[in-house]
Structure 1
């Protein structure tokens, strides 16, 4: 029951903010299924909910931006899986979390991050997202921060992040052994997506940026906590 509730809550977060699925349900699934099987299910379900979000919002997608942002991660995912076999994953997770948290804080203060712009920004954001995806399925926070810093139109952020996430998730699944599915979890995912879609429609205009920064900061804090306690 806890697993199903976590999956539903994660789907709500993803539907409202455009990311956050793994942040909510990742710890529960990994604790219940183990690192390898839990990660495969997280990335699989994240791909499914991203598709569900994308279908009704595809007209607002910035397709080129989403695919370009995913490109570094697609290239790096297999290499990262290989490199992290013997690495201290806790140290890497803490570093990724600190980077995410610092970026979210800077943007919340109104600062523009020059390094998170242009080709260099795409490579940095895409590569870091791939790293966090391989570690725990959390590809969204850094990509969302890039979108805010690049000032994508608010209506385009949610659907474009789904294009990014689907593309990177497919590359990650190929690298970690293919998809996994649990039909009860899938039903909970659908319920969460429906609730989240209703909430997203009620979200006041202009609040997307604040919500993204809040969820991304939470992702950074969680990554640090997971690295310390892992």
Structure 2
């Protein structure tokens, strides 16, 4: 049953990522954490999100803005080790609380579309990248900070997606370099790979049929539910 739920979480995350350009970690990471534990769940989320970002980048790399992405990626590289250290040192119940709280707060900030002058320009890129790198390594969810930077910078969805995919490839690779690959049994690896392929195909089919606004609502709703569930499990563990 747990392997089937693992496959379902990866399939759903891959579908929404291909459909909306972002969202794998927001949707799948909380579920993977609940199934595999904080360490392995976040690491598998990093791996799967990086793979999906690489697939998307293969067809959109010409729209990437390298100069804009350098401050984001450089700042993230500085904070990824700190997030990995936190994930390795904090006991599981407390880490579940941190992950659930970060996911839930990040979703609410994205829903509100927070506007702040500090999230613009090079300074905003550094702040967003540093926050995102830490959250990506510790909780598997680095996208919201980058999304808020994009909103405050005025990027369109067409501009955001390829740059977010480049960022996803690099930052998830950095996280895996620090933490290593997840330790899964062969059946779990096979289910994960199949779910990634099928989810990407499903998302590709739906991309032409579902409006971006509707897809965004689905992603954020699922992410908030997962974040709150993780937060609840952390509280239960402490009690």
Query: So what's the TM-score if we normalise by structure 2?
Result: 0.79
Tell me if the contact between 1:19 and 1:141 (Cα under 8 Å) persists in the aligned partners: no
Asked if the contact 2:82/2:134 (under 8 Å) is kept, the reply is no
Which is worse superposed, 17-26 or 93-102? 93-102
Corresponding residue to 2:230 among 218, 221, 226 = 226
1:83 Cα deviation after fit: 4.5
How far apart are residue 17 of structure 1 and its match? 1.8
Q: What is the CA deviation profile of residues 75-110 of structure 1, one whole-angstrom value per residue up to 9, with x for unaligned ones?
A: 111133224544553564466346524532442xxx
- What is the alpha-carbon distance in structure 2 between the residues aligned to residue 37 and residue 93 of structure 1? 13
Shift in Å, 1:113: 1.8
Match of 1:76 in 2: 79
1:118-137 aligned at under 5 Å gives the runs: 118-137=121-140
Q: Does 1:103 align with 2:109?
A: yes
Q: Any stretches of 5+ residues in structure 1 without a counterpart?
A: none
How many Å separate the matches in 1 of 2:31 and 2:112? 30
RMSD: 2.8
Q: C-alpha displacement at 1:43, in angstroms?
A: 1.0
Q: Does 1:35 align with 2:38?
A: yes
TM-score normalised by length of structure 1: 0.82
Q: What is the distance in 2 between the residues matched to 1:214 and 1:150?
A: 24
Provide the residue aligned with 2:200 in structure 1.
193
Paired positions, count: 224
Question: Over residues 161-206 of structure 1, what are the superposed CA-to-partner deviations in whole Å (9 max), with x where a residue is unaligned?
Answer: 11011111011111112466713211110111111122223344xx
Asked whether the equivalents of residues 40 and 183 of structure 2 are also in contact (C-alpha less than 8 Å), the reply is: yes
Which residue number corresponds to residue 6 of structure 2?
A: 3
Paired residue for 1:116? 119
Unaligned stretches of 5+ in structure 2? Answer: 235-239
